[in-house]
């Protein structure tokens, strides 16, 4: 989808990291970028949504036996439930406009397991599965769904985990993975 001055892009989790980079890139192309979780207000203000980037997320680093149920549920609430909720509200607007693109930022953890992160890995697998199912529902429409599964990304969260060793964790668990950062020229442009 072409991003320009007529495009309305809704991004969750845009205060830092991937979401912030997506917001800057879309704004530089002239899009109306809305950083909000209240999608109903976007519909009222702009009348349509062209792109929804589901980026809100959080992680944890704990063994299965050290992961409390509250942390497990929180992981699914932020990483999975928010994707469902926002997508289900954006879809009617996109279908009515006969155009749109729903993007979910998952993780390579949504494709591969790695140790001491079962809640995060399970949640990101759920995001991958949700978008795969949605994609089949959208066949024959002009609304598209994409999952992006980056490996480690240099963010405040990654820097705070295990003394900033998230890159080492991914390198051990996933062959040929490397940390993504804007400075290294490995960023993703929407």
**Ramachandran bin of 135, using left for φ above 0, alpha for ψ from -120 to 50, beta for the remaining angles:** alpha
DSSP 8-state assignment for residue 121: H
Closest CA to 177 of 148, 145, 151, 141: 151
pLDDT tens, position by position, 152-181:
665 555 554 544 555 555 555 555 555 455
Hey, which residues are catalytic here? 120
State how far the Cα of 189 lies from the Cα of 89, in Å rounded to an integer: 25
Question: What pLDDT, on the 0 to 100 scale, is given for residue 143?
Answer: 98
Instruction: Count the alpha carbons within 13 Å of 129 in the hemisphere toward its beta carbon.
Output: 10
* CA dihedral over 85, 86, 92, 98, signed as positive or negative: negative
pLDDT at 166: 55
Domain spans of the chain? 8-152
Helix-, strand-, coil-residue percentages of the chain, each rounded to 5 = 50, 15, 35
Cα(128)–Cα(112) distance, integer angstroms: 11
187 — pLDDT class (breaks 50, 70, 90): very low
Q: What CATH architecture is 8-152?
A: 3-Layer(aba) Sandwich (3.40)
pTM score of the predicted model: 0.75
With b for 16 or more beta-carbon neighbours within 10 A and e for fewer, the 117-138 pattern comes to bbbbbbbbbbbbebbeebeeeb
pLDDT of the residue at 34 = 78
Please answer whether residues 124 and 170 qualify as being in contact, where contact means their C-beta atoms are separated by less than 8 angstroms: no
For the cut 70, the answer to whether the pLDDT of residue 125 exceeds it is: yes
- Give 81-118 pLDDT, tens digit per residue: 999 999 998 999 999 999 999 999 998 888 888 888 89
pLDDT in tens, 9-26: 888 777 667 777 888 888
Q: Is the dihedral of CA 66, 70, 74, 77 positive or negative?
A: positive
The average confidence (pLDDT) of the chain is: 81
CB 174 within 8 A of CB 108: yes
């Amino acid at each position: 989808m072409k991003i320009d001055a007529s495009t309305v892009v809704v991004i969750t989790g845009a205060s830092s990291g991937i979401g912030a980079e997506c917001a800057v890139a879309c704004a530089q192309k002239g899009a109306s970028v809305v950083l909000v979780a209240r999608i109903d207000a976007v519909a009222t203000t702009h009348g349509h949504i062209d792109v929804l980037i589901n980026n809100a997320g959080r992680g944890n680093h704990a063994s299965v036996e050290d992961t409390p149920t509250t942390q497990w549920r929180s992981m699914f609430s932020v990483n999975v439930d928010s994707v469902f909720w926002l997508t289900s509200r954006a879809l009617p607007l996109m279908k009515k406009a006969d155009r749109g693109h729903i993007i979910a930022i998952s993780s390579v953890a949504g494709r591969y397991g790695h140790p001491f992160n079962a809640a995060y890995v399970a949640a990101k697998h759920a995001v991958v599965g949700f978008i795969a199912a949605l994609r089949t529902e959208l066949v024959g429409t002009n609304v598209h769904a994409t999952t992006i599964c980056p490996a480690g990304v240099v963010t405040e969260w990654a820097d705070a985990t295990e003394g900033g060793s998230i890159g080492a964790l991914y390198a051990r668990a996933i062959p040929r993975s490397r940390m993504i950062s804007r400075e290294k020229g490995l960023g993703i442009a929407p």
